[in-house]
């Protein structure tokens, strides 16, 4: 039956090729779209998989860049039993490098306590050294930097050259490359120097990276640190731009009016004076009896991955909608192809049924044809999608990290097979219900 169905498809090559092309493009697009999410997940697992310590950040902060913690906690954490090393970090975005505004991919300044970072058992940046040396005590108080290799390649620099970052001339003493899209975007420098050049609040830090003694379980270490900080108080992180929504304040229309007046050289209109003072936000309710709010979040690798998955949930939904739209178009293409094919062969089906073919035989033939289209379209689509991800990764190595793994490619082939089979189901049901003489007469 499959041989008969395959010959039928070859008898109408143009129509079959168009249906196959539509399905191939849809499946390739689906592989590419979900390759985006797969690449992000792979990059996150690769990055966090290299970090086996605990990261202390502000409660609710999505990443250390947005976190703010008191700067006087280092000694308290270091005094906890089971803590071997505490590294203090300050993160900031590098806005201008070598006179060029940095937009994408983003680059980050990491001010770190150099001596403590050099004492880590698992020094991710230190172990990824490709040229020069890692930062040491001689770099404390200087503008010497340890830079990701992709950043140096982008600006044509090497170890020994100077790199101007946000107007500050820095000397490159070493280069590293972890092989992770997330980690290969940093410029490391001395913590005190970083505070001065970026005017970072001296009373705060971004995060603490904590490495425990060998044999101490992360859960036990977390409990000890939280107990040591039980009397400390911090505020939960909130996105300031979103916090303004729904509150009293200037509207978007007044903002645009002020911008328009400034462009025309006019004095912007004064905001209206409120009749009553704006209500003050209510004080944060105190925890219920018996409950205690943790002043800090201590995240392990698994918890970072869970946090990352929650942030990519909306992206996953968006990709599913786009993928479903493309596949739906492909289904209509298969249905149209099979329906036209059945309409053109209506006399053939009438003759076959008059010579003893049953409804099941007709159904099997048409579904076999659509199944063949689905399988071939799935294989071609998966191959094209995988090749496209590899080409894009090679073309933009520091911007893209798409990943079409065996699971995604296998799913694409199976999904295409199901879609192709379902696409031929309606034409098959329509053909199998026709009586032999009616089919011959209509043809």
Residue pLDDT, tens place only, 42-78: 766 665 666 678 999 999 888 889 999 999 999 999 9
When pLDDT is cut at 50, 70 and 90, the band that residue 247 belongs to is: very low
If asked whether residues 35 and 107 sit together in one domain, one would say no
Residue 297 lies in a domain: no
Q: Distance between CA atoms of 308 and 174, rounded to whole angstroms? A: 30
For residue 329, the SS3 value is helix
Q: Is residue 36's pLDDT more than 60?
A: yes
Same domain, 41 and 62: no
Sign of CA dihedral 107, 108, 109, 112: negative
Helix (H, G, I), strand (E, B) or coil at 112: strand
Residue 291 belongs to some domain of the structure? no
Residue 398, domain member (yes or no): yes
Per-residue confidence (pLDDT) for residue 218, from 0 to 100: 87
pTM metric for this prediction = 0.63
**Residue bearing the bigger pLDDT, 409 or 351:** 409
Both 204 and 97 in one domain: the answer is yes
Last residue of some domain: 208, 235, 262? 235
**Same domain as 380, residue 333:** yes
State whether the Cα torsion 220-213-119-122 is positive or negative: negative
Length of the chain as a residue count: 443
Quick: pLDDT tens for 294-305: 889 998 877 766
| One domain for residues 208 and 97 | yes
H or E stretch covering 298:
strand 297-299
Q: Where are the alpha helices (DSSP H) in 267-312?
A: 301-311
Say if residue 7 is in the same domain as residue 24: yes
- Look-up of token digits 């599913």: 320
391 in a structural domain: yes
CB-based burial of residue 317 (10 Å sphere; 0-12 exposed, 13-18 middle, 19+ buried)?
exposed
Asked whether residue 200 is domain-assigned, the answer is: yes
In angstroms, the CA 348 to CA 335 distance is 19
Over the stretch 139-169, which tens digit does the pLDDT of each residue have? 999 999 999 999 999 999 999 999 999 999 9
* Residue 339, token pair as written in the block: 């329906």
Angle in degrees, CA 358, 362, 363, rounded to 5 = 110
| 66 shares a domain with 187 | yes
Report d(CA 314, CA 135) in Å as an integer.
Answer: 39
Q: Could you give phi then psi for residue 194, rounded to 5 degrees?
A: -60, -45
**Distances in whole angstroms, Cα of residue 335 to Cα of each of 374, 412, 431:** 12, 19, 13
Looking at the structure, tell me whether residues 416 and 389 fall in a common domain.
yes
Q: Is 413 within the bounds of a domain?
A: yes
Confidence of residue 314 (pLDDT cuts 50, 70, 90): low
| Predicted local distance difference test score (pLDDT) of residue 435 | 65
Report if residue 329 sits inside a domain: yes
Higher per-residue pLDDT: 106 or 36: 106
pLDDT of the residue at 179: 80
* Lowest mean pLDDT across 143-147, 236-240, 254-258: 254-258
The pLDDT-based confidence of 439 (bands split at 50, 70, 90) is low
Looking only at the bridges linking them, the beta strands covering 69-70 and 204-205 are: antiparallel
Say if residue 404's pLDDT is above 70. yes
- 343-348 — which CB contacts under 8 Å span 24+ positions? 344/12, 345/8, 346/431, 346/434, 346/439, 346/442, 346/443, 347/439, 347/440, 347/443
Evaluate if residue 284 carries a pLDDT over 70. no
Domain that holds residue 39: 2-46+311-442
Residues 190 and 106 in one domain: yes
Asked if residue 223 belongs to a domain, the reply is yes
pLDDT at 262: 42
Residues 6+ apart with CB under 8 A from 283: none
The pLDDT of residue 349 is 67
pLDDT computed for residue 165 by the predictor: 94
pLDDT top residue among 354 and 194: 194
Q: Which of 62, 162, 145, 61 is nearest to 108 (CA)?
A: 145
> pLDDT tens across 422-435, in order?
777 777 776 666 66
DSSP string over 336-387 = HHHHHHHHHTHHHHHHHHHTT--HHHHHHHHHHHHHHHHHHHHHHHHHHHHH
- Same domain (yes/no): 145, 41: no
| 63 and 42 in a common domain | no
Q: In 3-state terms, the chain is what percent helix, strand and coil (to 5)?
A: 55, 15, 35
Asked if residue 115 and residue 195 are part of one domain, the reply reads: yes
Among the listed residues 422, 429, 405, 419, the one whose alpha carbon sits nearest the alpha carbon of residue 37? 405
Instruction: Choose the final residue of a domain: 184, 214, 235.
Output: 235
Give how many domains the chain has, as a whole number: 2
- 207 has a pLDDT exceeding 70: yes
Residue that terminates a domain, selected from 186, 201, 235: 235
């Amino acid at each position: 039956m499959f041989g008969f169905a395959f010959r039928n498809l070859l008898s109408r090559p143009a129509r079959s090729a168009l249906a196959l092309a539509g399905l191939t493009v849809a499946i390739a697009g689906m592989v590419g779209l979900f390759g985006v999410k797969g690449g992000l997940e792979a990059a996150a697992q690769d990055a966090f998989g290299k970090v086996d310590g605990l990261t202390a950040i502000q409660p609710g902060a999505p990443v250390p860049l947005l976190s703010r913690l008191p700067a006087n906690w280092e000694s308290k954490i270091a005094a906890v039993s089971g803590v071997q090393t505490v590294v203090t970090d300050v993160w900031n975005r590098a806005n201008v490098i070598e006179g060029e505004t940095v937009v994408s991919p983003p680059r980050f300044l990491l001010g770190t306590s150099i001596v403590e970072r050099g004492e880590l058992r698992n020094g991710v940046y230190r172990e990824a050294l490709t040229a020069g040396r890692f930062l040491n005590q001689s770099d404390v108080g200087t503008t010497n930097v340890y830079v990701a290799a992709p950043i140096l390649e982008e600006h044509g620099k090497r170890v020994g050259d100077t790199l101007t970052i946000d107007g500050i001339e820095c000397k490159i003493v070493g280069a590293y490359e972890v092989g992770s899209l997330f980690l290969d975007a940093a410029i490391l420098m001395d913590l005190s120097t970083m505070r001065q050049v970026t005017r970072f609040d001296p009373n705060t830090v971004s995060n603490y990276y904590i490495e425990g003694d060998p044999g101490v379980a992360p859960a036990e270490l977390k409990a000890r640190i939280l107990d040591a900080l039980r009397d400390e108080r911090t505020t939960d992180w909130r996105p300031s731009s979103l916090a303004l929504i729904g509150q009293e304040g200037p509207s978007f229309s007044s903002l645009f009016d002020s911008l328009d007046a400034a462009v025309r050289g006019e004095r912007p209109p004064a905001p209206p004076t409120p009749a009553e003072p704006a209500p003050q936000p209510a004080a944060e309710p105190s925890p219920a009896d018996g409950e205690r709010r943790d002043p800090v979040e201590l995240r392990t690798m698994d918890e970072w991955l869970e946090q990352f998955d929650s942030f990519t949930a909306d992206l996953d939904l968006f990709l599913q909608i786009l993928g479903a739209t493309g596949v739906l178009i492909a289904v209509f293409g298969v249905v149209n192809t099979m329906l036209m094919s059945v309409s053109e062969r209506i006399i053939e089906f009438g003759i076959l049924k008059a010579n003893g073919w049953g409804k099941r035989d007709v159904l099997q033939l048409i579904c076999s044809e659509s199944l063949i289209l689905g399988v071939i379209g799935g294989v071609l689509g998966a191959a094209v999608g995988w090749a496209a991800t590899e080409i894009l990764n090679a073309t933009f190595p520091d911007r893209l990290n798409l990943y079409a793994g065996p699971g995604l490619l296998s799913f694409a082939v199976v999904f295409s097979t199901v879609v192709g089979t379902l696409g031929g189901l309606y034409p098959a049901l329509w053909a199998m219900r026709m009586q032999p003489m009616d089919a011959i007469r209509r043809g």
